[in-house]
Chains A and B, each alone.
Chain A
Amino acid sequence: MPNSIHDGASLKQDIGREEAGPSRHTPRQERWYLIMLALVVTLLVSLYPTLAKSPYMGSADLHAAIETVGALFGLIAGFALVMRFSTLGNRFHLIIGLAFFVNGAEDLAHGLLSFESMHGFIGVPTSSLVRFIPVTYVTGRLMLGGMLLIAPFARAWLKESERPIRETVFGSSAAIVLTLIATFVAFRMSLPQLVFPERLISRPVDFLSALLLLMALAVFLREYHRSLDMLTWWISLSIGINFVGQLMMSASKALYDPCFDIAHVYKVLGYAVPLVGLSFYQVAILKHRRIALQSAFRQAALLQAVNKVLLESLRCETEEEVAKTCLAVAQELTDSKFGLIGEVNEAGKFDTIALTDPGWDACRIPEMAAVRMIKDMEIRGIYGQVIKDERSLIANDPASHPSRVGMPEGHPALISFLGVPLKQDGKTVGMIGLGNNESGYDPVDEQAVEVLSIAFMEALHRKRAEVELREHREHLKELVEDRTAALEQANAELEERNRDLDEFTYMASHDLQEPLRKLTAFSHLLQEDMQKDEPEEVSNDLEVISSAAQRMQTLVQDLLVLSRSGRQSMSWEEVPLDECVAQALDALAVRVAETGAQIRTGHLPSVRGDRRLLTQLYQNLIGNALKFHGDEPPHIELSAEKAGNRWILGVADNGIGMNPEYAEQIFLPFKRLHGRRKYEGTGIGLAICRKIVERHGGTIWVESEPGKGAHFKLTVRGQVGKEGE
């Protein structure tokens, strides 16, 4: 099939013819066959003038021999047709077969009786032979014409037999009985004169038989035209020859003249023709059966392939896997060496979804180039034509294909190609390409891959929908989880804030009320003491009142600072901590001097945060260390150490320290560990520190033991800066 391009249309025609049956002619063939039949009949008739003038004379023995041979052919043809019926059940064949069989039997009797009349082998009386010989002959001829005439009608009346063997026996018996009766009746009848040598139609009985055959021929040709059945044509040919034979016979002037003998020869020919037809018929059927079997195998293979694509795609995770499965199946089905499946992308270029592994192996294009090429390929060349024309293409000689643009270096040599478009809603969205079936692709391959492509698109859609659904579900789940987490966090923050606020309100009301109550209480006391005129008590009362007022002011100020450190907007900048410390020490200068404190500052880094808040933080922590000193003057050490990518900042002192169990509550507002007589303070300072550290995304804690000083440590968010490296 060099350079042949098939399309779906011619395939359909092929299928159409096959569906019509194995032994049918096409309408075009019918014409030729009819002409052929006419030619044969004409040819046989045209011998007449020559024969009429010929001086030839045969012999009785020759006649008997021809008659016997012809009879045997007739019997065999009849037998074969009847056997055909007994296996296939077509009553048409039964009647035709019996017609030949009966006629053959009569002819056999006729031939053998002719021998007997000449040689007297078994001593049949001559008087009987003289009647029997023409009777068998005439009966046979007339029965053949009559039975053939009714056969096509019988075909129209009778359905296919369900019990052909029984009917064979019954039909054969009936035909034999009928023949015997007909023969016997004819034998009993006074025979009319058979030969009128002076007339053109010298044997009218034979002419009658010829007319019957002519009618049968007409009926058969009509039947042939209707069914285009091959065997009907062959029977028609046989009838035609027999008709000519009877015409010749009817023109015979004497026994054994040329017309007489040629008529017998035509009879032999007429009997032989159905046998030839049967052979052709058998051949056609066998051929058809082979094709049908092949087709059945291919159909089964195709069905299996479709099943495989649909089933295996269920197990595939991705659409690439689905494509790969389909490609492997298509390749196996079409006996291809490699293949590819791809789709047209949004830019109108071709993206390969899957290449079969042998395709990769055969492809020796350097990997990067190949990867680049299998995506975003220009739609052109032979495979491009599949997509552009939106129909399948077979190129069994791709090298000389008109669409050929050549292949990149390293591409495996292409000896044959089959491309089938992938269609979605009638639009071509991609292609399955297969290559290198060694004997070339045929329309059946094409059809198979077309069917497979539908299954593949189905599987692909299913997989895409599935993947989309799964992604959607996961996305939704993630979304819900994120939202839930965010809500939970917001809720937790709110709860904590609420708790903080509750506690704060409680503590604030308690601690703020306290100096107030004291003010009122001592005011009354003052009044009393003044009435009693106790100056010492009075001055004492006044002192309490004054200190309570002072304390009230401090409390309000500290609360303001706490509130501000928690709410005020923060600036985020690179803050060198040593500058914060310097500023804090500035503010604490008087107390540092009073306590005689020694302060040692290590190398402090820059951190990201709010300069003012960080200064406040150091001021409070250093202030704390100055306040809770022991007997010795305070010794304070400021440090910074790296822990992973964070700084741990420390403020250590040598003061009174504390029991570790109070390490947490000291950071709560208004919590004090010491009576106010010993250490003055509002209990807010460390709460402010915690708030500042928390706003910097860090934590603060203290490591301490009673009498051994306290080491406050804190972290702030943010990477270790350059200064720390």
Chain B
Amino acid sequence: MRGARSKTAVILLVEDDPDYQRLTKRALEAGGIPNELFVVDDGEQALDYLYRRGEFADPNLSPRPDLILLDLNLPKLDGRAVLKTIKQDPELRRIAVVVVSTSCDEKDVLLSYELGVNSYVTKPSQMDSFMKAIRDLHYYWFDVAMLSG
């Protein structure tokens, strides 16, 4: 954890749908979570961001996230592949990953946990429940911060 941002969570949102990007932002604001949100559109960009490749080379502009909100169905590189890469990397595996997916398919849930996801949240259709999920993430993040801090 970087001291300067100890109260601010750095969150990487991997989501191709701009509407959901907006929805997530609003949910995070509404949940009162101090955060710094970075958004990428697809799986390839997500890995580029994490490995600081190409346009994400500058560590100040692309800080290592504390939490990754990952959609599963992404263009190009799929969310599952991204998750797998993260959880097999000794550096990246410590980052908390929460899958946020429209899929409530058991297969996806099980696979995600097998790959080492920290939490799995179904993209809710009700604003309330989505907010609740984000708040859960907040607690979660704090727990992690406290423990690791």
A interface residues, Cβ below 8 angstroms from B = 506, 509-511, 513-514, 516-522, 524-525, 528, 540, 544, 547-548, 659, 662, 670, 672-678
B23 in the interface (beta carbon within 8 A): yes
Q: How many residues of B contact A (CB 8 A)?
A: 23
Considering only residues 96-122 of chain B, those with a C-beta below 8 Å from chain A are 102-103, 105
List 17 other contacts, CB 8 Å, given A509-B105, A540-B22, A675-B42: A506-B103, A510-B73, A511-B73, A516-B125, A521-B23, A524-B126, A524-B127, A544-B19, A662-B76, A672-B75, A673-B42, A673-B76, A675-B16, A675-B17, A675-B75, A677-B17, A677-B41
Q: Are A676 and B127 interface neighbours, CB within 8 A?
A: no
Q: Return chain B residues, CB-CB under 8 Å to A670.
A: 73
B140 in the interface (beta carbon within 8 A): no
Q: Are A525 and B76 interface neighbours, CB within 8 A?
A: no
Considering only residues 67-114 of chain B, those with a C-beta below 8 Å from chain A are 73, 75-76, 102-103, 105
Q: Return chain A residues, CB-CB under 8 Å to B73.
A: 510-511, 670
B20 in the interface (beta carbon within 8 A): yes
Rounded to whole angstroms, the CA-CA distance of A520 and B123 in the bound complex is: 11
B55 in the interface (beta carbon within 8 A): no
Q: Return chain A residues, CB-CB under 8 Å to B105.
A: 506, 509-510
Rounded to whole angstroms, the CA-CA distance of A522 and B123 in the bound complex is: 13
B26 in the interface (beta carbon within 8 A): yes
Q: Return chain A residues, CB-CB under 8 Å to B149.
A: none
Q: Are B130 and A521 interface neighbours, CB within 8 A?
A: yes
B54 in the interface (beta carbon within 8 A): no
Rounded to whole angstroms, the CA-CA distance of A676 and B127 in the bound complex is: 22
Q: Are B126 and A514 interface neighbours, CB within 8 A?
A: no
Can you name 18 A-B residue pairings with CB atoms under 8 Å? A506-B105, A509-B105, A510-B73, A510-B102, A514-B123, A517-B125, A518-B20, A518-B23, A520-B126, A521-B125, A524-B126, A524-B127, A525-B127, A528-B127, A675-B16, A675-B41, A676-B18, A677-B41
Q: Return chain B residues, CB-CB under 8 Å to A678.
A: 41
Q: Return chain A residues, CB-CB under 8 Å to B42.
A: 673-675
Looking at the assembled complex, report how far the CB atom of B84 sits from the nearest CB atom of chain A, in whole angstroms: 15
Rounded to whole angstroms, the CA-CA distance of A544 and B18 in the bound complex is: 9
Rounded to whole angstroms, the CA-CA distance of A458 and B126 in the bound complex is: 91
Rounded to whole angstroms, the CA-CA distance of A659 and B22 in the bound complex is: 29
Closest to B18 in A: A677
Looking at the assembled complex, report how far the CB atom of B104 sits from the nearest CB atom of chain A, in whole angstroms: 9
Q: Are A514 and B16 interface neighbours, CB within 8 A?
A: no
Considering only residues 22-43 of chain B, those with a C-beta below 8 Å from chain A are 22-23, 26, 41-42
4 nearest A-B residue pairs (beta carbon): A524-B127, A675-B41, A675-B16, A520-B125
Considering only residues 122-149 of chain B, those with a C-beta below 8 Å from chain A are 123-128, 130
Rounded to whole angstroms, the CA-CA distance of A514 and B71 in the bound complex is: 12
Closest to B123 in A: A517
Which of B17, B22, B26 contacts A676 (CB under 8 A)? B17
Question: Which of B20, B41, B76 is packed against the most chain A CB atoms within 10 Å?
Answer: B76
Looking at the assembled complex, report how far the CB atom of A86 sits from the nearest CB atom of chain B, in whole angstroms: 113
Rounded to whole angstroms, the CA-CA distance of A678 and B76 in the bound complex is: 13
Q: How many A-B residue pairs have CB under 8 A?
A: 71
Q: Return chain A residues, CB-CB under 8 Å to B20.
A: 518
Looking at the assembled complex, report how far the CB atom of B81 sits from the nearest CB atom of chain A, in whole angstroms: 11
Rounded to whole angstroms, the CA-CA distance of A516 and B23 in the bound complex is: 14
Q: Are B16 and A521 interface neighbours, CB within 8 A?
A: no
Closest to B45 in A: A675
Q: Return chain B residues, CB-CB under 8 Å to A522.
A: 19, 23
Rounded to whole angstroms, the CA-CA distance of A659 and B19 in the bound complex is: 27
Q: Return chain B residues, CB-CB under 8 Å to A675.
A: 16-18, 41-42, 75
Rounded to whole angstroms, the CA-CA distance of A540 and B26 in the bound complex is: 13
Looking at the assembled complex, report how far the CB atom of B14 sits from the nearest CB atom of chain A, in whole angstroms: 10
Closest to B26 in A: A525
Q: C-beta contact mask, B57-69 vs A, less than 8 Å → 1, else 0?
A: 0000000000000
Rounded to whole angstroms, the CA-CA distance of A509 and B106 in the bound complex is: 13
Question: Which of A514, A547, A675, A676 is packed against the most chain B CB atoms within 10 Å?
Answer: A675
Q: Are A517 and B124 interface neighbours, CB within 8 A?
A: yes
Closest to A677 in B: B18
On whether A525 and B23 interact (CB within 8 A), knowing A510-B73, A510-B103, A674-B75, the answer reads yes
Q: Return chain B residues, CB-CB under 8 Å to A544.
A: 19, 22
Looking at the assembled complex, report how far the CB atom of B133 sits from the nearest CB atom of chain A, in whole angstroms: 12
Q: Return chain B residues, CB-CB under 8 Å to A514.
A: 17, 102, 123
Q: Are B16 and A518 interface neighbours, CB within 8 A?
A: no
Q: Are A521 and B124 interface neighbours, CB within 8 A?
A: yes
On whether A521 and B127 interact (CB within 8 A), knowing A513-B102, A678-B41, the answer reads yes
Closest to B130 in A: A521
Rounded to whole angstroms, the CA-CA distance of A511 and B124 in the bound complex is: 14
Closest to A679 in B: B75
Q: Are B102 and A677 interface neighbours, CB within 8 A?
A: no
Closest to A505 in B: B105
Rounded to whole angstroms, the CA-CA distance of A509 and B104 in the bound complex is: 10
Rounded to whole angstroms, the CA-CA distance of A715 and B99 in the bound complex is: 41
On whether A524 and B102 interact (CB within 8 A), knowing A540-B22, A675-B41, the answer reads no
Q: Return chain B residues, CB-CB under 8 Å to A674.
A: 16, 41-42, 75-76
Looking at the assembled complex, report how far the CB atom of A674 sits from the nearest CB atom of chain B, in whole angstroms: 5
Question: Which of A518, A521, A540, A548 is packed against the most chain B CB atoms within 10 Å?
Answer: A521
Looking at the assembled complex, report how far the CB atom of B52 sits from the nearest CB atom of chain A, in whole angstroms: 20
Looking at the assembled complex, report how far the CB atom of A262 sits from the nearest CB atom of chain B, in whole angstroms: 140
Rounded to whole angstroms, the CA-CA distance of A518 and B130 in the bound complex is: 12
Q: Are B126 and A521 interface neighbours, CB within 8 A?
A: yes
Q: Return chain B residues, CB-CB under 8 Å to A519.
A: 125
Rounded to whole angstroms, the CA-CA distance of A673 and B127 in the bound complex is: 28
Closest to B107 in A: A506
Q: Return chain B residues, CB-CB under 8 Å to A528.
A: 127
Q: Are B126 and A673 interface neighbours, CB within 8 A?
A: no
Rounded to whole angstroms, the CA-CA distance of A511 and B123 in the bound complex is: 12
Rounded to whole angstroms, the CA-CA distance of A576 and B75 in the bound complex is: 36
Looking at the assembled complex, report how far the CB atom of B102 sits from the nearest CB atom of chain A, in whole angstroms: 5
Q: Are A548 and B41 interface neighbours, CB within 8 A?
A: no
Q: Return chain A residues, CB-CB under 8 Å to B103.
A: 506, 510
Rounded to whole angstroms, the CA-CA distance of A287 and B73 in the bound complex is: 113
Q: Return chain B residues, CB-CB under 8 Å to A524.
A: 126-128
Looking at the assembled complex, report how far the CB atom of B21 sits from the nearest CB atom of chain A, in whole angstroms: 9
Considering only residues 1-26 of chain B, those with a C-beta below 8 Å from chain A are 16-20, 22-23, 26
Q: Return chain B residues, CB-CB under 8 Å to A513.
A: 102
Q: Return chain B residues, CB-CB under 8 Å to A510.
A: 73, 102-103, 105
Q: Are A677 and B16 interface neighbours, CB within 8 A?
A: yes
Looking at the assembled complex, report how far the CB atom of B108 sits from the nearest CB atom of chain A, in whole angstroms: 9
Q: Are A518 and B127 interface neighbours, CB within 8 A?
A: no
Q: Return chain B residues, CB-CB under 8 Å to A518.
A: 17, 19-20, 23
Closest to B131 in A: A524
Q: Return chain A residues, CB-CB under 8 Å to B75.
A: 672-675
Rounded to whole angstroms, the CA-CA distance of A510 and B18 in the bound complex is: 17
Q: Return chain B residues, CB-CB under 8 Å to A506.
A: 103, 105
Rounded to whole angstroms, the CA-CA distance of A509 and B41 in the bound complex is: 22
Looking at the assembled complex, report how far the CB atom of A666 sits from the nearest CB atom of chain B, in whole angstroms: 10
Rounded to whole angstroms, the CA-CA distance of A565 and B76 in the bound complex is: 26
Q: Return chain A residues, CB-CB under 8 Å to B41.
A: 674-675, 677-678
Question: Which of B23, B105, B128 is packed against the most chain A CB atoms within 10 Å?
Answer: B23
Closest to A529 in B: B26
Rounded to whole angstroms, the CA-CA distance of A110 and B119 in the bound complex is: 153
